[in-house]
Structure 1
Amino acid sequence: MAWTKAPAAAVAAPAGQAVIQTDDIGRFWIAYDAVRAAKDRPTRLALFQKLYLDPATPGLRTLMAARRYTLEQYVDAIERWPKFWDSIRPLTGRAREAAGPLAKDLAAFRAIYPEMRPASITYAIGVLRTGGTTQGGMVLIGAEIALADASVDVSELPEPMRTRLGAFFATAPFTNNAQNNIHEYVHTQQEDSSDSLAARVAYEGVAEFVAERVTGRRPPLKLYVYGPAHRVTVRDQFRTDMAKTDWRDWLYNSNDNVFGVSDMGYFVGYEIARDFYDRAIDKRAALRLMIQLRYADDNAVRAYIAQSGYLTDDAARESQ
């Protein structure tokens, strides 16, 4: 679909539910058309600023700050990757549809975690550096990634972005948007982690596990195929690396790492969370501890990992 005007303002949510904001998407495509029609660079920059950035929602402004997006980066991307933008355009119109299960999922989340705090959710267009992140009480969804599928044309993108996003889009992230939303929503309930690999893996893994408990879904990513087939190898490498602050082999990466599979830290974190939960007698208390863990305290994180049994319980793990 081609946007011809900005959509109506976000609908206020009932008390206790998330406010979902999608207005930035419509404004992006208005700005996109204006930039594509403009004849010179200064005019393109001025139009994009006026039409997309000046009226940006608080969520888009926060997303830009979190990912250090700039006016120049947006216009560069529009100029260099027209096939990408033309192919993703109709898919970004599905933001409201993608957010459809959210009310039900948040009710399920609150049922298992009554301490859940409200957060807003903004779908906006970024410059391909995140499909989802958080800042404070905001969930920030990069619609140009999160709403994609295998039909998106990545041929103009530079490497390694082309390979990484091409593989991700082949998993149809749009169909997993409910899990993605809850994963990010969980992050709004957590404190940020320290820079140690152990803390960051624990932080991401709890969000993965809770999102699965709530939605019944896990992302259809290669890490969840490779991980179970190489549990001991992955665990032993994690044990070696867990105190490091270099995440390049584990998180937010391409497949150019020791495993040849991106984001294996999510698998390790998920396994730790699952093992911790399975061992707990009081499941609700276990979830509360996991979500409220002091991720900035490496001693607290190490105690949580030790209690999970992940690093030592080989026989049980290999039987799963």
Structure 2
Amino acid sequence: MGFKTGRVCLGAIASLAFAAPAVPQSHQASAPRAAVHAPPVVDTDIARFWTAFDAIQAAAPADRLKLIQTLYIDAGTPGLHALMAARRYTPQEYVDAIAKWPKFWASVRPLTARSRAATTTLNGDVERFRRLYPRLRPATITYAIGVLRTGGTTVGDKVLIGAELGLGDESVDVSELPEPLRTRLATFFRSRPFANNAQNNIHEYVHTQQQETDGTLLQQSLREGVAELVAELITGRKPALPVYSYGPTHEAAIKARFVTEMGNDHYDNWLWNSAANPFGVSDLGYFVGYRIAQRYYDAARDKKAAIRTLIELPYNDPTAIRAFTDRTGYFLGA
């Protein structure tokens, strides 16, 4: 599940005492001989970030912006640059974050060395994806350090994983973060995103195959829900997030409210949000989209054709998406 938070502010110096183990270089995970279409995985930006981080700790304040720019950003991969553009990260944000949240960085640093371990199932998962969806187009996967606004997103054929979030677990110290980010990330890290990384990688990989949209709540939710369903079919897991325990027991109320808002382009109650919404649970739009997609898939006789239909829906066409949703009957009686 793509994790998106609001812009945050940052400052206080992190200690040099928490040096991490060496971070793996760019790699492609070991593959069985049959997995000839494995996507390239790039993680060299992680090591560059910690080099810049250590240099910034030892530098005068006036030199820190130049260090993050030259050691991390200018030397970074196309994936890092795409991630920064997608989430509008700035060099100043990195400098401020390094200064402001020492406990966060101390706790997350050793975890970011797990990018190689995070992709051990990737080749097999992609091959299963290809069997389900033979039209699968190639994509790259980049792990890079961001400033806490995404654990996963996509730009074109690039899957972009925010390693400071996507490789985390319940050991990450969020005590310095401002609210509501602190509470949201505490919930997120308790879901053990590293353990769920296989699902996250495939969820984002699905997005590289879908049409993008900046349309209505329904369009966005269905696009996310399809990625959730396909990732579950391939990996056999859902994210361990409250949305998937809360949703089934409150589905009637969720549907009733969703139908009143699904034609809007305001997502605050449903997507990439904090729990400060009428239900007190984040990202219920994912659940609604997942249930629409699941209803269509379960009713289909030809499952492979159903997957193709779901992935290739015209997500940027509100009329077509509404008509498809109506055909599933998901909102009947809501």
Q: Work out whether residues 194 and 296 of structure 1, in 8 Å CA contact, stay in contact via their aligned partners in 2.
A: yes
What SS does the corresponding residue of 2:239 show, helix, strand or coil?
coil
Q: Is the 8 A contact 1:194 1:298 kept in 2?
A: no
The answer as to 2:177 corresponding to 1:157 is: yes
Letter in 2 for 1:215: T
Normalization by structure 2: what TM-score? 0.91
Q: C-alpha distance in 2, partners of 1:208/1:157?
A: 28
How has the CA–CA distance of structure 1 residues 277 and 160 changed in structure 2, closer, same or farther, with 3 Å as cutoff?
same
1:26 Cα deviation (Å)? 0.5
What RMSD, in angstroms, separates the aligned Cα atoms of the two structures?
Answer: 1.6
Say yes or no: does 1:297 pair with 2:317: yes
| Residue among 54, 78, 81 paired with 1:33 | 54
Task: Give the C-alpha shift of residue 8 in structure 1.
Answer: 3.5
Unaligned stretches of 5+ residues in structure 1: 315-320
| Structure 1 stretch displaced more, 49-58 or 205-214 | 49-58
Q: Read off the aligned partner of 2:109 and give its amino acid letter.
A: R
> How do 1:12-27 residues align onto structure 2 when only pairs under 5 Å count?
15-27=36-48
Report what 2:277 is aligned to: 257
Map 1:1-320; keep pairs closer than 5 Å.
2=19, 7-11=24-28, 15-40=36-61, 42-312=62-332
Deviation (angstroms), 1:300: 1.1
The two structures have a TM-score, normalised by structure 1, of: 0.94
SS at match of 1:296: coil
Q: Which has the higher helix share?
A: 1
Flag the 1:164–1:92 CA change in 2: closer, same or farther, 3 A: same
Contact 2:89 2:146 in 1 (8 A): yes
Contact 2:154 2:204 in 1 (8 A): yes
Deviation at 1:142, TM superposition (A): 0.2
State the shift of 1:38 in Å: 1.1
1:37 is displaced (CA, Å) by 1.3
Aligned in 2, Cα 1:161/1:105: closer, same or farther, shift over 3 Å? same
Contact 1:4–1:30 under 8 Å retained in 2: no
CA spacing shift, 1:194–1:72, aligned 2, 3 Å: closer
User: Secondary structure, in 3 states, of the residue corresponding to 1:173?
Assistant: coil
Q: CA deviation at 1:309?
A: 1.6
When residues 54 and 188 of structure 1 are mapped into structure 2, their CA distance, relative to the original with a 3 A threshold, is same
Unaligned runs of 5+ in 2: 1-17
Q: Report the CA distance between 1:284 and its aligned residue.
A: 1.1
Deviation at 1:194, TM superposition (A): 3.8
| Counterparts in 2 of 1:210 and 1:9: CA distance versus 1, 3 Å | closer
Pairwise CA distance, 1:279: 1.1
Q: Matched residue of 2:52: which SS?
A: helix
CA distance in 1, matches of 2:264, 2:46: 39
1:204, 1:269 within 8 Å by CA — same for their partners in 2?
A: yes
Deviation at 1:267, TM superposition (A): 0.4
Instruction: Give the ranges of 4+ consecutive aligned residues of structure 1 lying more than 3 Å apart after TM superposition.
Output: 1-15
